[in-house]
Chains A and B, each alone.
Chain A
């Protein structure tokens, strides 16, 4: 151990200076590599953010927007959607036509001026120049015909793509198209008109900012649903805590990172467009929602219970279980008691613990459950956070669905 003690002063000074020089070299070496390290960290962290966004999307958003972001027909639009990212299915061809047309005009002008020179009576070109002009004209003629072919091909391709989209519309891919397009047109080219008017989703909704801002803002504040397009949608809830929802700002940003990661940039195709249920898809049985959907249960507990008695609505535990697990994703949180009370034992706990609390004097178990589902903020079980459970289940469920879920929970002893 005493070997660590350096006896001579010179050696100590020398060792000390070496160490300090070493530190400076090391720190300098770190400093020149900082730029690359910081960039690598940004990439790593963006990856982490997308992963967490994927997790949130799967548990919170996939129910309405679809697991792969293709939309769930009658509820909410697809987000894995070329139109959202500004993809114009005929954009490439339109651009090709424009470029070729411009070139064509230039070549035609060149031809005209050469012809004028050739036939100029006042100042006729000499023989050598005449040969030169004839050669150039021949070349121009070939180029003009090349551009014409290009234009014809692009026009044909464009027409084919529009035809595909038109056919898709005619076959009911976008059954609510008319109400969306909202244009008075008797022509066959309403698809074309639509894309001319609404190049991207942002243009369609009249958003002046960028996509990131649009996604984040919508996530924070939610938005009203369009009853014409999504008859079964009650609009998007506000997800951010700043607007009364359950998510923190960093989670909103994770979700936005995930959604924007769908962007394929230049690689979107018309097939991608056809895969999305952007404008309301037929219901599972192929029919359109002709009758107005049953009204949602709402959050008036006494009213709900009265309606159940009056209309003889009886819940089915089996259907309730399906709704509980999959449709409304209740088990995402109500699973092991970590973030919300466990599903197992709900009925027992309500009967033996909750209803003994003074504020629930006179409640029935059904009444307690209905209130807990439709008005989750009114009472939060000790040890769990408030504001976590979405408060719009009453608006999303019909009386029958609510009754089914309550019936299922009553079996959870």
Chain B
């Protein structure tokens, strides 16, 4: 007898023999862990056999266990195919867990402080094994999650699954969509790079347009008038605490509602006005264990595998330069899922389009089940709602397109072209100038003038001609002045243009051609234009590329080129100080006896006015080993 008040394992061994006692002990433990299934039950389930015990032990985990109490014990065969769910709801939940796990791993290496955050990103990328993979997965998962949740909503709309009795399920789902958007958005700020700072600055400034409370909401969110230490901390807490808490609670509510009402059947599978989701005929029942369970485990593997492959070969989370409130990247955009608001903002009033319009849109979505109360879920009976769905997709797409930087943002032609060549790496793109391989950056001055006109001449002759022209009319000297102002060392200034070394540096040639192509697109704003690239050595392994645009000035007002009555652009002419002459041709003197001066337009030898030449430049430093977005 045992000294314990109940039979011990040893008593069991004495009574039944060692082998039997061990097997029974294992069986018992398995049954406790699975909340109802013993080894034999599991074996039968995974072999696809019918259960040998009665009552069906595969239902007990749903009744007695925690994890499966929020999953139905069986489904209708009609909802287990790819249609009608497309696995979108399941995928959304998958991403909740996927993001939580990868996010916690990243949290280990992260401190929400503007002084440290960017350095932490560098540490994750340079000193944490698998750190880059985790970051890529977290970022890609976040983008996918927003898309999947939005598609899930669209599917629910199309199959009419929001109708009675699922109105509240729809509403909780809509909340989840909004939370997902904000979760993804709040995560944008955390790396504290340029992308983070500016995407969030734009996003947060939308809130500013709200009347009365706008400033307060914005202040509350940022913790200071400018995004800084407080703002980062607040976004961090939103991202890792407040929003996930809300998300988990709402996910629970949403799942609970799904259990209560069942998965809605494809519209054509049930009678109009009837909800038969909970009445599943015996022959249509597909049990969670083992069918749906194995299916979901398989998908779990498949989706994770796909994301892993994408993150290894096809996607890397971008890390731009350190956040800099002083340097606004040209063409900053909000994250893609908020682009539609940015597009709407270009339509007019900041409050109406930035706040009222999204609120009305979301409000209309929330009220959808109460506005569309027709009983039928059949496609043929829901032409208006399906049209509206397509309209929503189209409008969002068009507005998102309008949100892109290239739409209706005015910048002068020369700024735009030089920006195209030199912009700071952003949105996974680098300036064209950066695409020239380092060994093809051959020191010298090159001009796009070499590339147009002048048929039948050798490159050397063309360059000689250009050199003679630009030296004579002072344009070359003007370029040198501009370079000096931009701190190019006087020792390094070029003496003349060289022919572009197309054989040694094909990519350099290609970029110059692209430069020329861009300049040629602007004959009105940039008349008689030429571009130049001046490559100088700066340090060992470091070159400097100066991009210069030189053109005749035209009058521009409000971003538009002024034209005269004939539709020709109005030129601006160079002027100089000249003594005023009286009728006799004598210089006029002022009271002190000094000659009186006036501004006169300069004329060339043929008596034509000389246009005022303008010059603009931008530059890049390029280090041999630097790389972005690799």
Contacts and interface: CB of A to CB of B under 8 A. Distances in A.
Interface string B319-349: 0011011111000000000000000000000
A34 B125 CA distance: 10
Interface in A185-224: none
B491 A43 contact: no
Nearest to A51: B621
A16 B46 CA distance: 13
Contact of A15 (B119, B301, B538): B301
A47 B624 contact: yes
Contacts of A326: 484-485
A70 to B, nearest CB: 9
B133 A30 contact: yes
B373 interface: no
B487 interface: yes
Interface string A50-63: 11101100110011
A50 B298 contact: no
A258 B539 contact: yes
Interface string B92-107: 0000000000000000
Interface in B508-565: 538-542, 544
Given A15-B302, A44-B625, A2 B82 contact: yes
B626 interface: yes
A356 B628 CA distance: 48
A4 B82 contact: yes
B475 interface: no
A345 interface: no
A91 B251 CA distance: 73
A240 to B, nearest CB: 11
Interface stretch (B65-73, B163-171, B212-220, B303-311): B303-311
Contact of A47 (B46, B290, B623): B623
A38 interface: yes
Interface in B23-43: none
A304 B125 CA distance: 54
A9 B290 contact: yes
A9 B621 contact: no
B294 interface: yes
Contacts of B83: 1-2
A54 B544 contact: yes
Contacts of B291: 9
Given A26-B309, A26-B312, A48-B623, A385 B325 contact: yes
B627 interface: yes
Interface residues of A, number: 64
B593 interface: no
Nearest to B295: A12
A339 interface: yes
A12 B298 CA distance: 6
Nearest to B48: A9
A26 B129 contact: no
Contacts of B115: 249
B322 A325 contact: no
A174 to B, nearest CB: 20
Interface in B586-622: 620-622
Contacts of A68: 489, 491-492
A119 to B, nearest CB: 60
Cβ-closest 4 pairs across A and B? A47-B626, A19-B301, A67-B489, A47-B623
Given A48-B628, A67-B492, 16 more contacts: A2-B82, A5-B82, A12-B295, A15-B298, A16-B294, A16-B302, A34-B130, A38-B125, A47-B623, A51-B623, A51-B626, A68-B489, A249-B115, A261-B541, A262-B539, A385-B226
Interface of A: 1-2, 4-6, 8-10, 12-13, 15-20, 22-23, 26-27, 29-31, 34-35, 37-38, 41-48, 50-52, 54-55, 58-59, 62-63, 66-68, 248-251, 258, 261-262, 264, 325-326, 329, 331, 336, 338-339, 385, 388
30 contacts: A5-B80, A8-B48, A9-B48, A9-B294, A13-B46, A13-B298, A16-B300, A16-B301, A16-B302, A20-B301, A20-B305, A23-B301, A26-B309, A27-B133, A34-B129, A41-B132, A44-B628, A45-B125, A46-B626, A47-B541, A47-B624, A48-B623, A63-B487, A68-B491, A248-B322, A250-B118, A250-B119, A261-B541, A338-B328, A385-B326
